[in-house]
């Protein structure tokens, strides 16, 4: 028998004031792609410069205005890629490059060297804050962990003052979902105040589910709790960065948006560490399917998938929402019958809205086609067999 007793249940948040269950998603968040950082670092075969350039150009074409391009202080390859973007003048004026760096002086210095000549950038600092990591990895108490974040903030402030790049700060309490909420609030507020965030110059506070530990409602509670406890909330852009360890990254993202998140970091098709980051495309197409403008140019999923698969050498599973080979097929005769009748009714009635059984969206809206698969098998039933016989 599975030894389930080895696992502790993650406590839920005692937060009866929560309002997110009664909310609806109304508009697209600010999207930030982390394909070239979290996505790339998790590839069996990381992208080479030309593949990264192609991926960067795709992200720009898709309409991402914030793109994390790597960890330039981590290696020469990462550094050189950012310089390639600058040297080839590939960064449009309306796109902000984001760079990740730990709160350490030599790394922050090197990061600023890599930013030379860039008009505006987001410098993203992070340190791990969870109870477990404080204990077993860092052997530091809360004040010592908080000091790391404050020192990092001051260093970014100092280097930003000395350079020509217009810098915005992003801070992530990494492993947020395993951090006590009052401590997460304390450390984020210390960074917010040290940076001197204002309504005009807000800070990005990014609350990652570095590891997805529990059900999406708990993440939503954590986000709403933070959202409502921050001081000077209008000096904060509240960002989320969900991973997908339980396969609930999209749901966590959607509930966290209900809970007040302004910004989402994720990747195309959910590439990223372990089970991946949240799949931004699925979140965006889900919005689209609800009549919300996703604010991304995602009309051609075939092209996106082709470039993604070629650059990352990852396969998109056949049942992946929207992009998978099989997601706009119907094998069942009764499904095919209903789809045909739905399409005919839509055509005859000239309906304003898409309403066809079994097809939540019109595949042609995103560059796909509906494919009936003609087959009679043990599950076809009399109706299905009759339909296939009549039709084909």
Task: List interacting residues with ligand KIV (CB under 6 A).
Answer: 38, 100, 126, 172, 174, 206, 208, 210, 241, 243
Q: Which is nearer to ligand KIV, 38 or 224 (CB)?
A: 38
Give residue number: closest CB to Zn ion: 38
Tell the smallest beta-carbon distance from residue 241 to Zn ion (Å): 5
Q: Which is nearer to ligand KIV, 82 or 100 (CB)?
A: 100
Sign, CA dihedral 382-387-388-392, equals positive
Residue 254 interacts, among Zn ion, ligand KIV, none and using kind-specific CB cut-offs from 5 to 8 Å, with none
Q: Which is nearer to Zn ion, 35 or 38 (CB)?
A: 38
- Span near Zn ion by CB under 5 A; candidates 36-44, 59-67, 106-114, 256-264: 36-44
Tell the smallest beta-carbon distance from residue 208 to ligand KIV (Å): 3
Residue 248 interacts, among ligand KIV, Zn ion, none and using kind-specific CB cut-offs from 5 to 8 Å, with none
Q: Which is nearer to Zn ion, 250 or 366 (CB)?
A: 250
181: burial class by Cβ within 10 Å (0-12, 13-18, 19+)? middle
Rounded-to-integer distance, Cα 25 and Cα 141, Å: 38
| Tokens found for residue 268 | 């195309």
Q: Does 38 engage in binding with Zn ion (CB under 5 A)?
A: yes
Q: Which is nearer to ligand KIV, 173 or 333 (CB)?
A: 173
Rounded-to-integer distance, Cα 207 and Cα 129, Å: 11
CA angle centred on 161, ends 156 and 162, rounded to 5°? 105
233 phi, psi to nearest 5 deg:
-55, -30
Q: Which is nearer to ligand KIV, 71 or 328 (CB)?
A: 71
Q: Does 265 engage in binding with Zn ion (CB under 5 A)?
A: no
**Beta partners for residue 33, in sequence order:** 67, 266
| Tokens found for residue 35 | 């394909």
Residue 174 interacts, among Zn ion, ligand KIV, none and using kind-specific CB cut-offs from 5 to 8 Å, with ligand KIV
- Span near Zn ion by CB under 5 A; candidates 31-39, 128-136, 295-303, 333-341: 31-39
Rounded-to-integer distance, Cα 2 and Cα 163, Å: 57
- Span near Zn ion by CB under 5 A; candidates 33-41, 138-146, 251-259, 380-388: 33-41
Rounded-to-integer distance, Cα 134 and Cα 116, Å: 35
Q: Does 174 engage in binding with Zn ion (CB under 5 A)?
A: no
Tell the smallest beta-carbon distance from residue 223 to ligand KIV (Å): 14
Rounded-to-integer distance, Cα 60 and Cα 92, Å: 8
Rounded-to-integer distance, Cα 88 and Cα 90, Å: 5
| Tokens found for residue 81 | 């890629």
Binding residues (CB under 5 A) for Zn ion: these are 38
């Amino acid at each position: 028998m599975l030894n389930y007793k080895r696992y502790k249940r993650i406590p839920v948040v005692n937060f009866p004031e929560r309002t997110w269950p009664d909310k609806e998603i109304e508009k697209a968040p600010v999207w930030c792609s982390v394909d070239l950082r979290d996505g790339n670092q998790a590839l069996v075969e990381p992208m080479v410069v030309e593949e990264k350039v192609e991926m960067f150009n795709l992200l720009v074409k898709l309409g991402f205005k914030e793109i994390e391009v790597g960890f330039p202080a981590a290696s020469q390859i990462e550094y050189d890629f950012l310089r390639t973007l600058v040297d080839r003048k590939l960064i449009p004026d309306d796109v902000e490059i984001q760079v990740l760096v730990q709160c350490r002086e030599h790394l922050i210095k090197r990061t600023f060297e890599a930013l030379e000549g860039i008009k505006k950038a987001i410098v993203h600092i992070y340190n791990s804050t969870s109870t477990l990591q404080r204990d077993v990895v860092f052997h530091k108490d809360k004040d010592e962990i908080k000091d790391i974040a404050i020192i990092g903030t001051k260093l970014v402030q100092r280097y930003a003052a000395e350079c020509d790049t217009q810098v915005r700060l992003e801070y992530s309490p990494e492993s947020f979902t395993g951090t006590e909420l009052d401590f997460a609030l304390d450390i984020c507020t210390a960074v917010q105040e040290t940076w001197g965030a204002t309504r005009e110059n807000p800070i990005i506070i990014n609350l990652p589910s570095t590891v997805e530990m529990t059900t999406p409602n708990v993440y939503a509670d954590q986000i709403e709790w933070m959202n409502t406890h921050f001081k000077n909330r209008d000096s904060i852009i509240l960002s989320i960065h969900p991973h997908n360890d339980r396969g609930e990254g999209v749901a966590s993202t959607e509930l966290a948006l209900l809970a007040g998140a302004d910004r989402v970091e994720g990747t195309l098709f959910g590439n990223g560490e372990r089970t991946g980051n949240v799949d931004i495309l699925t979140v965006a197409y889900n919005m689209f399917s609800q009549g919300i403008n996703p604010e991304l140019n995602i009309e051609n999923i075939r092209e996106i998938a082709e470039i993604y698969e070629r650059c990352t050498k990852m396969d998109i599973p056949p049942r992946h929402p929207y992009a998978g080979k099989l997601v706009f097929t119907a094998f069942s005769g009764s499904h095919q019958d209903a789809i045909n009748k739905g399409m005919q009714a839509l055509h005859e009635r000239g309906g304003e809205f898409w309403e066809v059984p079994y097809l939540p969206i019109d595949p042609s809206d995103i560059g796909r086609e509906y494919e009936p698969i003609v087959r009679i098998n043990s599950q076809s039933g009399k109706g299905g067999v009759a339909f296939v016989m009549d039709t084909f």
